[in-house]
Structure 1
Amino acid sequence: MEYIGKELLYLSKQHRALLAKRLSGIQLFPGQDGLLYYLSLQDGQSMSSLVEKLQIQHATLFKMVERMTKEGLLKKYKDAADMRTSVIYLTDKGKVKLEELAIIWKEIELTLSNGLSAEEKKSFFKILHKISNNINHA
């Protein structure tokens, strides 16, 4: 008997492993790609905002930001209006890393969709949205 949950878990693990392998090629760890992505949408975000978007613990984000700051990818400043708040910005080096990351995301997308017709992709997304909706209403 086949189970949707089991297949989703297996697929998710495969995707994470592929992404982790590709990220290591540009000296990034899993999770750092998400941080770069959200900063690319809006540079200069508070730690609290990023914790919410990334759905991780504050301590996890703190370690990630510290590591990426030491590597020259990010800058962290105190908010002028509230000195208790840190605001995170991309550096020029971080923006270059984001360009490398965009290439990886495109290549992975091509790998994932290899051999799928436009109709199969459309059906896949439709099914994924239904499953997501089922989970959100559980």
Structure 2
Amino acid sequence: MDKRFFYLLNKARHRVYKHADQRSEDALGISVTQVGALLLVAGDEGCLLKDLAHSLHLNSSALTGLAGRMESKGLLERRTCDRDGRASRLYLTDVGREKIESAKPLITELNNRMTDGFSDEEVTVILKFLNYLANDF
């Protein structure tokens, strides 16, 4: 058994992301990053573009491109912020809401695939480990 944590974590992240992205493109016609963005906007309708960039760990130029592609697909709408004309707020469209609903079974499938073969206790340990890395490392 390979015991190189950093190497395995990086390899696993890459494989899981690549698989999830391909499944998302095949099933929904949008990237897994776009699904994540839709879910974040749904949780904070009217959020600022810069706040979404922070949540997705993207720089502002990368998010501007992502938002532009999503807007051209009719997934979300950018509106100028009333308080700061330089800022943009993001809102879901009906198409974006439909994509979120269509994504839910895919998200369940992906989560089930990652935990398949592990006991509930093992999944709890894995989640504890991942939460530690994501929030406290």
TM-score (norm 2): 0.89
Alignment map for 1:75-94 (pairs within 5 Å): 75-94=77-96
Q: 2: distance between equivalents of 1:96 and 1:6?
A: 37
Partner of 1:68, secondary structure, is helix
Query: How far does the alpha carbon of each residue in 1:24-45 deviate from its partner, in whole angstroms, 9 at most, with x for none?
Result: 1111124212211111111111
5+ residue gaps in structure 1? none
Q: 2: distance between equivalents of 1:128 and 1:59?
A: 28
Residue type of the alignment partner of 1:15: V
Alignment map for 1:1-138 (pairs within 5 Å): 2-25=3-26, 26-130=28-132, 132=133, 136=137
Seen in structure 2, the aligned counterparts of structure 1 residues 134 and 61 have a Cα distance that, compared at 3 Å, is closer
Q: 2: distance between equivalents of 1:107 and 1:134?
A: 25
Q: 2: distance between equivalents of 1:128 and 1:68?
A: 29
Q: 1: distance between equivalents of 2:62 and 2:20?
A: 19
Query: How far does the alpha carbon of each residue in 1:33-87 deviate from its partner, in whole angstroms, 9 at most, with x for none?
Result: 2211111111111111111111101111111111111111111111112111111
Which stretches of structure 1, 4 residues or more, deviate above 6 A after TM superposition?
none
Q: 2: distance between equivalents of 1:33 and 1:99?
A: 10
Query: How far does the alpha carbon of each residue in 1:85-131 deviate from its partner, in whole angstroms, 9 at most, with x for none?
Result: 1111000110000111222111101111112111111222233345x
5+ residue gaps in structure 2? none
Q: 2: distance between equivalents of 1:119 and 1:8?
A: 20
Q: 2: distance between equivalents of 1:51 and 1:117?
A: 35
Q: How many residues align?
A: 135
Q: 2: distance between equivalents of 1:135 and 1:79?
A: 33
Q: 1: distance between equivalents of 2:50 and 2:131?
A: 28
Partner of 2:84, secondary structure, is coil
Q: 1: distance between equivalents of 2:22 and 2:135?
A: 31
